[in-house]
Amino acid sequence: EIVLTQSPGTLSLSPGERATLSCRASQSVSSGYSAWYQQKPGQAPRLLIYGTSTRATGIPDRFSGSGSGTDFTLNISRLEPEDFAVYYCQQYGSSRYTFGQGTKLEIK
Amino acid sequence: EVQLVQSGAEVKKPGESLKISCKGSGYNFAAYWIAWLRQMPGKGPEYMGIIYPGDSDTRYSPSFQGQVTMSADKSISTAYLQWSSLKTSDTAIYYCARHLTISGAWFFDFWGRGTPVTVSS
């Protein structure tokens, strides 16, 4: 089973700043299987990025994804108040999907 | 508009059975895989398995094989997740999500709002 480790666990930033969220896999994965989701309290996860770097429909261009092999990154260029939430990375391998434990992006 | 509408919150006792549902609309329900995912408080989602409503082909994650049963009725665009004997450790929120494959990318593009399940004596 692929284990995903997200860092940092919590990120404290101010609106307008840039956020960089990391996701490290325990083994190399295909870039096609990498995705990122945003979850706000009491809501379902929302797809942000798939195939490592493709934004889902309706996702603002301040969100961008990159990476390969075992290291993947989600960047948010200029934080808006609505961006403060928990973010999860996702990978696929060994016949199952796995998710990271999440990075909580909080207002500083 | 694609929507996945899940059944409401459940409170059960250990040993009881349960079946929750996920009704799709706004797209050809039979033609897309539907996944079930568990989320425990403060944790990331866990993939339980996936079902293709068109022919009910089902693939379980090894962690959940034998613990739950997935089914689907394409005539009413509904997928189901059921337990025959609940445990307190089954307490969680359960999501259904549509699985999509585009140009070699695999992901979940639409999610239901989740069904909270509480198992307590």
Q: How far is A108 from chain B (nearest CA, A)?
A: 21
Sign, CA dihedral A6-A8-A9-A12, equals: negative
> Model confidence over A41-69: pLDDT tens digits?
999 999 999 999 999 999 999 999 999 99
> Model confidence over A3-15: pLDDT tens digits?
999 999 999 999 9
Q: Are B49 and A82 in contact (CB under 8 A)?
A: no
Closest A-chain CA to B115: A44
Q: Regarding predicted confidence, which is higher, A95 or B96?
A: B96
* Tokens 């050809």, located at residue: B28
Residue A93: per-residue pLDDT: 79
On the question of pLDDT at B84 being above 80, the answer is yes
On the question of pLDDT at A94 being above 80, the answer is no
User: A46 to chain B: which residues are within 8 Å by CB?
Assistant: 111
Interface test with A, best of B4, B63, B106 (most A CBs within 10 A): B106
Q: Which of B102, B110, B117, B114 is nearest to B24 (CA)?
A: B110
Smallest Cβ–Cβ distance between A35 and the set B35, B107, B114 belongs to: B107
pLDDT averaged over every residue in chain B? 97
Q: Which of B112, B85, B73, B120 is nearest to B96 (CA)?
A: B112
Residue A32: per-residue pLDDT: 81
Q: What is the per-residue DSSP string for A32-91?
A: GG-EEEEE-TTS--EEEEETTTEEPTT--TTEEEEEETTEEEEEESS--GGG-SEEEEEE
Instruction: Quote the tokens at residue B32.
Output: 């897309």
Cα B102 to Cα B99: distance, rounded to the nearest angstrom: 10
Cα A57 to Cα B13: distance, rounded to the nearest angstrom: 41
Contact residues, chain A to chain B, C-beta under 8 Å: 30, 32-33, 35, 37, 43-47, 50-52, 54, 56, 88, 90, 92, 95-102
User: B58 to chain A: which residues are within 8 Å by CB?
Assistant: none
Q: Which of B63, B73, B71 is nearest to B38 (CA)?
A: B63
Residues, chain B: 121
Q: Are B53 and B29 in contact (CB under 8 A)?
A: yes
